[in-house]
Amino acid sequence: MKIGVVGLGLIGGSVAKAIKTHTTHTVLGADLNGQVVSDAIKTGVADAELLPENLRECEVIFIALYPHATIDFVEKNKTNFGSATVVDCCGVKQIVCDACEVIARENGFVFIGGHPMAGIEKTGFYNSKGDLFEGASMILTPCEDVPEENLDKVSAVCTQMGFGSITVSTPEGHDKTIALTSQLAHVLSSAYVKSPAALLHTGFSAGSFKDMTRVARLNEDMWTELFFDNSSALIEEIDGLVQRLTEYSDALKNNDRAGMHALLAEGHRIKEIVG
């Protein structure tokens, strides 16, 4: 089949590379950077450029843009998709699905929210990888009226790309959970590395410091948009973390060794449960 990929950055470029690495599908690619499109075609990552006039040739179209740019692209091309199944790759789902599902129903194509749970701290096409999704989870958030055959088609393509599992969720459920599992981790990493002591870490740090600071090397444009598009859920997680951290600080201030031991033991116990 023909598969379109809109946005050939880290995620979109990796989608295109995974498809070309693991399948015989034809890939049409689009990006605002013409040199990226040219290089993608030259290196076999894409077979041809994806244009408004050939969008309807694609059975599945992955959109790997920021949330609001995704909505804008879907609105702008709403009459060009034909009967395609359109899947976004944004890190938030509610705001994207609320807008795009309505546009899809009114214009005869199918929209399915998607979020590939994989990434690295580098960005752009030239850092994209054909094996980025190996063993990872692909979250899909189809609305209730999405035909089973369309969901099955997208799931099959994702499995072919190397995803280890397909997780089906609601947009609301996705955003609430992702506030903890992804967004809070990026906030914490960014705040943690700002300690003045971080500048003196050489010779005093090992895996823990590197693990805690790795995702502070983020794309601030994208993450600012993601945080504000999911602000209510993220605020709840940040405030909860502040409250829990205060318990550790209070135990130290009060010389409460038993309390600290209990806090650490509780964290250990919960980690054993969550894996």
pLDDT band of 5, cuts 50, 70, 90: very high
Sheet holding 2-6, edge to edge: 48-49, 26-30, 2-6, 60-63, 85-88, 110-117, 137-141, 165-168
Q: Which residue would you say has higher pLDDT here, 126 or 206?
A: 126
Task: Report the distance separating Cα 17 and Cα 39, nearest Å.
Answer: 12
Separation CA 93–CA 275 (nearest Å): 25
pLDDT of residue 7: 98
Q: pLDDT tens digit string along 198-230?
A: 888 888 878 899 999 999 999 999 999 999 999
Crossing angle of helices 171-178 and 94-107, rounded to 10°: 160
Q: Can you tell me the mean pLDDT for 219-246?
A: 97
Residue 14 is predicted with a pLDDT of 98
- Chain mean pLDDT for the chain: 96
pLDDT tens, residue by residue, 140-168: 999 999 999 999 999 999 999 999 999 99
Residue type at 134 in one-letter notation:
E
pLDDT of residue 124: 95
**Rounded Cα distance, 237 and 180, in Å:** 6
Print burial letters for 175-191: b (CB count within 10 Å at least 16), e (below 16): bbebbeebbbebbbbbe
Query: pLDDT: is 22 or 206 the higher one?
Result: 22
Alpha helix ranges (H) inside the chain: 10-22, 34-42, 67-76, 94-107, 148-160, 171-178, 184-192, 207-213, 220-229, 231-253, 257-274
Do domains 2-169 and 174-274 share one topology? The answer is no
Q: Tell me the one-letter amino acid at 56.
A: R
Dihedral in degrees, nearest 10, Cα atoms 113, 114, 120, 122: -40
Out of 1.10.10.10, 3.40.50.720, 3.90.1150.10, 3.60.20.30, the CATH code matching 2-169 is: 3.40.50.720
Any idea where the domains of the chain sit in the sequence? 2-169, 174-274
From 77, 69, 73, 10, select the one nearest 45 (Cα to Cα): 10
Q: Which amino acid is at 74?
A: V
79-122: per-residue pLDDT in tens?
A: 999 999 999 999 999 999 999 999 999 999 999 999 999 988 88
Fold of 174-274: 6-phosphogluconate dehydrogenase C-terminal fold (1.10.3660)
Place of tokens 């694609």: 58
Provide the whole-model pTM: 0.92
pLDDT of 88: 98
